[in-house]
Structure 1
Amino acid sequence: MYYWDGGWAWMAFAPLLGIALIALAVWAVIRLTHGASGGASGRGRGWEGHEYRETPEEILDRRYASGEIDTDTYTEARDRLAAHRSSPR
């Protein structure tokens, strides 16, 4: 009665399937929340799925705003970036 060949295989496979489903759900939640918040590095994905990269000016602004660099360093770096951008290649 209730005999089904291969029952032991499903008993061994069921926990693995459960672990895989839980891992998939965790991965999906992390992927969705990480992409929506832009991630820890401040970078996210654009409309086309391309990764957004900060410009040198944005990096400089962020470093100045966080207090990582002082006003003189910020002004000098901004001037250098402006000169580099305006120079012909």
Structure 2
Amino acid sequence: MLRLVLSLLVIAVIVLVIVRPGLFLRALRGKPRPALEEDPREILKRRYAAGEIDEDEYFRRMSGLSQDW
């Protein structure tokens, strides 16, 4: 019985390593999965840093995000 359980465990680990190496490595490292939704402030910071928006637009949008509606 113990051999069967160990065999199944080894097979499961092999399948995880082959099929989903990213998921397996993240689990070993303890890193959380990336969030599906990004924080709007982080998006604005990235866009400003990339030069997609100017400083005035950045501050206008940031102030809009910080207001309680």
TM-score, length-normalised on structure 2? 0.50
Aligned length: 47
Q: Distance in 1 between matches of 2:39 and 2:51?
A: 19
More helix by share: 2
What is the match of residue 57 of structure 1? 41
| Residue identity in the other structure for 1:78 | M
Q: Distance in 2 between matches of 1:80 and 1:54?
A: 17
| Deviation readout 1:17-49 (Å, 9 max, x if unpaired) | xxxxxxx95x54xx52xx86xxxxxxxx72xx4
1:70 aligns with 2:45: no
Q: Distance in 1 between matches of 2:49 and 2:38?
A: 15
Match of 1:81 among 48, 54, 65: 65
Q: Distance in 2 between matches of 1:80 and 1:72?
A: 12
Highest CA radius of gyration, 1 or 2? 1
Shift in Å, 1:54: 1.6
Instruction: Pick 1 or 2: higher relative contact order, CA cutoff 8 A, min separation 6.
Output: 2
Q: Distance in 1 between matches of 2:63 and 2:39?
A: 15
Shift in Å, 1:79: 1.0
* Alpha-carbon RMSD: 2.8
TM-score, length-normalised on structure 1? 0.41
Structure 1 gap ranges (5+): 1-23, 37-44
Matched-pair identity in %: 35
